[in-house]
Amino acid sequence: MAENQVQNPPAEKVIALSASQLEPFQGHPFRVASGEEMEQLKESIREYGVLSPLLVRPRGDGRYEIVSGHRRKAACEALGITELPVLVREMTDDEAVILMVDSNIQREHILPSEKAFAYKMKMEAITHQGKTTSRQVGEKSWSVEQVSQNSNDSQRQVHRYIRLTHLIPSILQMVDEYQIAFNPAVEISYLTEEHQRMLKEEMDACQATPSLTQSRTLKQMSKEGTLTREYLHHLLTEEKPNQRQKFFLNQEDVQRYFPKHYTPQQMQQVILHLLHTWQHKRGYNKDTQER
């Protein structure tokens, strides 16, 4: 072969690999949850097989890292399927992160924490590729613009999701379980870890969460170093000006929309998640119209 002749890389092709050769993506932020969607996926694989091959990259010693297809692998393992179709592709760490996030971010049911860490991983990968001069600049400008591509969230919303990664785990879990609203949680993410721990303890004790206005006050006080446990207790026990009378849904009215095995708590979580998604879509459409 002549010295100046370039050899084309081998064409990608689908091959069969043992499930034991496949490793999960390191730091994968998306959970492989059981439930109705997983049951539907298992039923589809049982009837038609794995229609879309997993995307993996070689890690050496006959091992491969899954970039896209964790749920398909879990479904196959549950069905006793030990050999899976995969597409092997050489990728850098940053390329793999970006593709992994983009292939999962469009899923219908994604927890706020999953989005938060996925967007953060993608932002760091883009920044590491040299797209921006620094992480600080990238997080606030060009990098966030790139992260928002292939998602339904505006640049502003992406930045707000990334802020959630600054929450302590116990408060972030409250966001996932819709025990605290998204917007107040973003403001709370600016509190120091010590102040967040104090807040969590008082929220548990008072069985209350701060409003958006109250959260902004806590953010400023934490920044100034004037936030105290006594003030937190006072704030959480005072009646909020915009507090509304509670209303209840009759279980019989909503039960027909859910599988029979769903508990009231599961139904409540689904309803809150749908309202949360609807709110974000309204915000996204508004941002789109204003641009």
Return all residues near 222 (Cβ < 8 A) that are at least 6 apart: 190, 191, 192, 195
Question: At what angle are helices 155-163 and 112-128 packed, to 10 degrees?
Answer: 110
Distance CA 173, CA 180 (A): 9
> How would DSSP label each residue in 30-84?
S----SHHHHHHHHHHHHH--SSPEEEEEEETTEEEEEE-HHHHHHHHHTT--EE
DSSP at 105: T
Strands 54-60 and 63-68: antiparallel
Read off the pLDDT of residues 165-183 as tens digits, 9 standing for 90 and up: 999 999 999 999 999 999 9
Mean pLDDT of each 10-residue bin along the chain, 291 residues long: 43 86 92 84 93 92 92 94 94 93 84 94 85 44 70 86 97 95 97 97 95 96 96 87 56 77 78 84 57 46
Residue 86's pLDDT is 95
Give residue 136's pLDDT. Answer: 46
Placement of tokens 């785990």 in the chain:
169
For residue 270, the model assigns a pLDDT of 85
User: Residue 221: its pLDDT value, please?
Assistant: 96
The CA-atom distances, in angstroms, between 107 and each of 220, 227, 266, 269 are: 36, 39, 19, 17
pTM over 0.75: no
Domains of the chain, earliest start first = 14-90 (3.90.1530.10), 102-237 (1.10.10)
- What pLDDT, in 10s, does the model give residues 23-37? 999 889 888 877 888
